[in-house]
Amino acid sequence: MDDSTPITEYLLSMVEAAILARASDIHLEPEERQCRVRWRIDGCLLDGPRPPLDGRDRLISSVKIMAQLDIAEKRRPQDGRFDFPLSDGTLRDIRVSSLPTIRGEKLVLRIMAPAQALPLAALGLETAQLAHLQRALARPHGMVLMTGPTGSGKTTSLYACLQSLPLDGINVCSVEDPVEIALSGANQVAVCEKSQLDFPNALRALLRQDPDVIMVGEMRDGVTADIAVKAAQTGHLVLSSVHTSGARATLARLINMGVAPFNLSSAQPLIVSQRLLRRLCRYCRRPVCLTLSAWRGAGWDDGVPEAASPYEAHGCAECQHTGYRGRLGVFELLPLAENALNARGELNPGLVCQPTLRQAALAKVMQGETSLSEVSAVVMD
Ligand SMILES: [Zn+2]
């Protein structure tokens, strides 16, 4: 493409190229006269194709028209969406949001994943962890809590859990903001501020409808957390997520929100902490010999692992020269038994979970799935 390419032609081919490159978001960032185009792929922002010269305003307007935003309104944030037709005949859902910056409107186009939940076994759990999670999901009551920072794959894991349930024989209900994947056989409710359908209201309503399994997209406030914990104590299986760095932080957050430690431990939650690591590109990864000090530096507290076959990132056309292609989850599971917390809501010191997040991540290095530097960058605690 050159500077004479019409802006709509640029836009359509740029969005399609971003989708084919597995991007999750497209950022259109206004500069002095130009517009910077960046794509997020596997969690990292990379430069996309440069738009035609002086095309900034026309590019922003074209996207706003496609997403049915008010093109005259440039000072208030707006949001909208459009369906993007791919050349294979399928449609992709694109969510658009605008933000007025000092250089003009910045747009982000979020490319929604094709609506399909992953099987549990594809998430990246170690074999024993997978069996543990499946046992927790087979209980008639209790909680499974996914925890991690933004973009750590909590929602993907929640959907994988829901989909693994025998949806035909039970009543599965969810409250979500928004519903990202429509699951056949589940009754999903989207939170809607305009109709005053917030998490607590929706949750109270669905509890009157004889549910077996309840999924609460995220526990953000004390009222929601309290209802969810009590539902788990009274014969329901509750799945939810909490935006925290790990199991201990999750307990502290829930107790800060006002959930009584006694209620929390008697709900018997399985707390799953997770992170997403970039997967080394199969086409260009290179075997690497890691020294003992490199392993130790990444938190390994033993000798050089003998069975390890580690690789490092290189870069090729298949991976946009990043060395990585796709991502995989690493997990730490902490089951809370009834006596796991003291009266102040602190974990009894004897409780350890194996493997830890870091051990699970280092196992992926030994299997050649990711690199030591990726583990050091993503797994902090
Ligand atoms: Zn590659």
**pLDDT tens for the chain, residues 1 to 381:** 566 678 889 999 999 999 999 999 999 999 988 899 999 999 999 999 988 888 899 999 999 999 999 999 999 999 999 999 988 888 899 999 999 999 999 999 999 877 788 999 999 999 999 999 999 999 999 999 999 999 899 999 999 999 999 988 899 999 999 898 889 899 999 999 889 999 999 999 999 999 999 999 999 999 999 999 999 999 999 999 999 998 889 999 999 999 999 999 999 999 999 999 999 999 999 999 999 999 998 888 888 888 899 999 999 999 989 999 999 999 999 999 887 888 777 887 777 778 999 999 999 999 999 999 999 999 876
- Residue 19 CA to ligand 1 centre (angstroms): 18
Among residues 249, 245, 359, 275, which one has the least CA distance to residue 43?
275
Q: What is the pLDDT of residue 312?
A: 96
8 A C-beta contact, residue 285 and residue 368 = yes
User: Residue type for 36, please?
Assistant: R
Q: Does residue 255 share a domain with residue 198?
A: yes
8 A C-beta contact, residue 358 and residue 275 = no
Output the CA–CA distances (angstroms, integers) from residue 285 to 322, 325, 363, in the order listed. 10, 10, 17
Say how many domains are in the chain: 2
∠345-162-252 over CA atoms, to 5°? Answer: 15
Choosing from 80, 111, 142, the residue where a domain stops is 111
Among residues 50, 105, 51, which one has the least CA distance to residue 78?
105
- Residue 280 CA to ligand 1 centre (angstroms): 8
- Residue 312 CA to ligand 1 centre (angstroms): 11
Burial class (CB in 10 A: 0-12, 13-18, 19+), 140: exposed
DSSP H or E segment with residue 196:
none
Q: Does residue 330 share a domain with residue 198?
A: yes
Q: What is the pLDDT of residue 1?
A: 55
- Residue 369 CA to ligand 1 centre (angstroms): 13
**Radius of gyration over alpha carbons of the chain, in Å?**
23
Q: Does residue 342 share a domain with residue 251?
A: yes
Locate tokens 């002086």: which residue? 54
- Residue 188 CA to ligand 1 centre (angstroms): 39
CA–CA gap between residue 176 and residue 237 (Å, rounded): 16
Q: What is the pLDDT of residue 3?
A: 63
Q: What is the pLDDT of residue 2?
A: 61
- Residue 370 CA to ligand 1 centre (angstroms): 13
Residues 6+ apart with CB under 8 A from 159: 117, 118, 180, 181, 183
- Residue 33 CA to ligand 1 centre (angstroms): 34
CA–CA gap between residue 55 and residue 57 (Å, rounded): 6
Q: Does residue 343 share a domain with residue 216?
A: yes
- Residue 285 CA to ligand 1 centre (angstroms): 7
- Residue 220 CA to ligand 1 centre (angstroms): 39
- Residue 310 CA to ligand 1 centre (angstroms): 16
Query: Residue 83 is part of which domain span?
Result: 7-111
Q: Does residue 145 share a domain with residue 90?
A: no
- Residue 149 CA to ligand 1 centre (angstroms): 27
Q: Does residue 98 share a domain with residue 227?
A: no
CA–CA gap between residue 363 and residue 305 (Å, rounded): 10
Q: What tokens appear for 180 in the block?
A: 């990202």
- Residue 162 CA to ligand 1 centre (angstroms): 34
Q: Does residue 88 share a domain with residue 127?
A: no
